[in-house]
Structure 1
Amino acid sequence: MIQHHQSAGESRLERGRRALADIDGQAGEKVVATLADIAPDFATYLIEFPFGDIYSRPGLDLRAREIATIAALTALGNAAPQLKVHIKAGLNVGLSRDEITEVIMQMAVYAGFPAALNGLFAAKAVFAGLPPRKEEGK
C-alpha cells in the first residue's frame, strides 16, 4: 500500500513536492512550471494543498486516491487535460489500463455517457502514447 506521510520537520510544500513527484512525475512538474510566469502562488497552493495535505493523508493508498480522482475528473466532463495527467498518475501508482478504463466506464452510470465518452477518449490518447502492452505484442 503506497502512502505518503508527513516526516518530522517537513513542510507542506516539501511534502507536496515529494508526493507530486512520486504520483505525477514530470507531468506534475510541467503543470507547476507552466504557472510560474502567471501565478507562482497558485503553483505553490497546488503543491501544498492537494499533494502536501490531501494525498499525504493516511487512510487511502495512492491507487485508491487516483481511482477517486480519475472518477471525479471523468464525472466533471470538462477536465480532459487534468484527467490525462491523472490517468498517467494512475498508471504510475500501479493501476492497469483495464482498471482505469473500468473506472471511466463506471462514470456513465453517474455522470452520463457524454462524460464517460470524453473520459475514454482521454484514456485512449494517453494509452496511445505508451509502449504497447506485452500481451498486445504477442
Structure 2
Amino acid sequence: MNERYERGLARQAELGGPGATRARAYDALADIAPDLSRLAVEFAYGDIHARPGLDPARRELVVLGVLTALGGVEPQLQAHLETALNVGVRPAELVEAIMQALPYAGFPRVFAAMTVARRVLQSRDLLPVPPP
C-alpha cells in the first residue's frame, strides 16, 4: 500500500470508519473495477479530505451540499450523512444543510436528499428532528 492510501484509510478511521454503506459500494464494484475503491480512498480521503483548513464537521456539511445539488447519488449521500453524524454534526444541522441547497438545487433534489436523511436519522433513532 502507498502513503496516500494509508493516509486515506487513516482519515476514514478518524471519521468513524468506512461505514457499511461505503464498504458495500466499494465491494459491489470490486469484480468490475477493483482499483476504483483504492482510488477513492487515495484521492477523496488521502488527498482531499485530509487537507487542513476545515474541521471534519464543516467538511461534511460542504460535501452534503454538493451531493444534494448533484442528485442521483443517494448511496454517497447516505454514507456522508452517517459520517457527518459520526463527527458531531447534529440532526437539525443536517436538515438545515440540505435545506440550504433548495434555491440552488431545486425541490426534487432536496426532497430526495431529505428522504435519505430521514432514513439515516430513523436508523439511529434520531427522529423527530426538532425545528431550528
User: C-alpha offsets along residues 92-134 of structure 1, whole Å, 9 cap, x if unaligned?
Assistant: 111011000000011111111111111111100111111347x
Residue matched to 1:5:
none
Contact kept, 8 Å, 1:24 with 1:86, in 2: the verdict is no
Residue matched to 1:127:
121
Out of 18, 31, 34, the position equivalent to 2:10 is 18
Q: Does 1:102 align with 2:96?
A: yes
Unaligned runs of 5+ in 1: 1-9
Secondary structure of the 2:100 match is: helix
Q: Does 1:38 align with 2:32?
A: yes
Q: Does 1:81 align with 2:38?
A: no
Deviation at 1:24, TM superposition (A): 5.0
Amino acid at match of 1:32: Y
In structure 1, C-alpha distance between the alignment counterparts of 2:109 and 2:23, rounded to whole Å: 27
The two structures, once aligned, show a CA RMSD in angstroms of 1.9
Deviation at 1:47, TM superposition (A): 0.4
Q: Percent identity of the aligned residues?
A: 40
Residue matched to 1:93:
87
Contact kept, 8 Å, 2:81 with 2:94, in 1: the verdict is yes
Contact kept, 8 Å, 2:91 with 2:126, in 1: the verdict is no
Q: Bigger shift: 23-32 or 98-107?
A: 23-32
In structure 2, C-alpha distance between the alignment counterparts of 1:29 and 1:22, rounded to whole Å: 16
| TM-score normalized with structure 1 length | 0.83
Larger radius of gyration: 1
User: C-alpha offsets along residues 70-111 of structure 1, whole Å, 9 cap, x if unaligned?
Assistant: 000001121111101110010011101100000001111111
Which runs of at least 4 in structure 1 moved beyond 6 Å after TM superposition?
none
What is the count of residue pairs matched by the alignment? 126
